[in-house]
Amino acid sequence: MYASFIDIVIVVLRNRLIRVYDSNLGTRNKSQSDEIKQLSIILPNYLHDSGFFDKTDRIDWATLDAYKDNKTGELMGPQHPFEVEFARGIMQQKSDSLDCGTYVAAFAEFLSDEIKVPSIPFQSEYLRSRYATLLWKYGTDKANAGYVSQNDDPIRLKAASIILPDDELFNVD
């Protein structure tokens, strides 16, 4: 059994919130909780130091309650960590299961489709087959369309190689 499991972490910037979707919450070890806590401290510092909050063309961070100090009403600095919330009532894998990748893929699918993550367990075998089929179909469609790169650029001709005669070769040791 693996010592750690994969989680999905969603950062909700508007709320200064890190939401953790963990399929193995019952067996969470202290080092994983410490890593999430470190993220909640590092993230506001990184965003502050990178000038992220200075960009207010889409969101005026100073007007959001989550970024205001309750006592002073001023914009909070990077010394205030993000709040961490562990999603409750979501499906959990068995402690001896090695399906955390399948659970993460399912969580990602539910969240990207804006569907509530269910609390009942799913059939791991079915999902593994489904994801394998989707990946195979994607690869086949790309190959049939002539695409070979990850960004779906049209196929490029390979560079021509020139074979030199033996007397023109040299060793570069």
**What is the per-residue pLDDT across 49-61, written as a single tens digit (0 to 9) for each?**
998 888 777 888 8
Phi, psi (rounded to 5 degrees) for 126 = -60, -50
pTM equals 0.65
What's the mean pLDDT in 43-48? Answer: 92
φ, ψ at 79 (rounded to 5°): -75, -10
When the pLDDT of each residue in the chain is averaged and rounded to a whole number, the result is 79
Q: What is the pLDDT of residue 11?
A: 92
Burial class from Cβ neighbours inside 10 Å (0-12, 13-18, 19+) for residue 24 reads buried
Q: Which two tokens stand for residue 130?
A: 């489904």
Q: What is the DSSP letter of 75?
A: B
pLDDT at 16: 93
CA distance 100 to 20: 14
pLDDT recorded at residue 161: 61
DSSP code for 76: P
pLDDT class for 173, splitting at 50, 70, 90?
A: low
pLDDT at 156 (0 to 100): 66
pLDDT for 125-166, tens place per residue?
Answer: 888 899 999 999 998 888 888 776 666 666 666 666 666 676
Q: Domain residues of the chain, as ranges?
A: 7-147
Q: Residues for the chain: how many in total?
A: 173
Q: Which residue has the higher pLDDT, 94 or 169?
A: 94
d(CA 7, CA 18): 12
- Burial group, residue 121, by CB count within 10 angstroms (0-12, 13-18, 19+): middle
Cβ–Cβ < 8 Å for 47, 53: yes
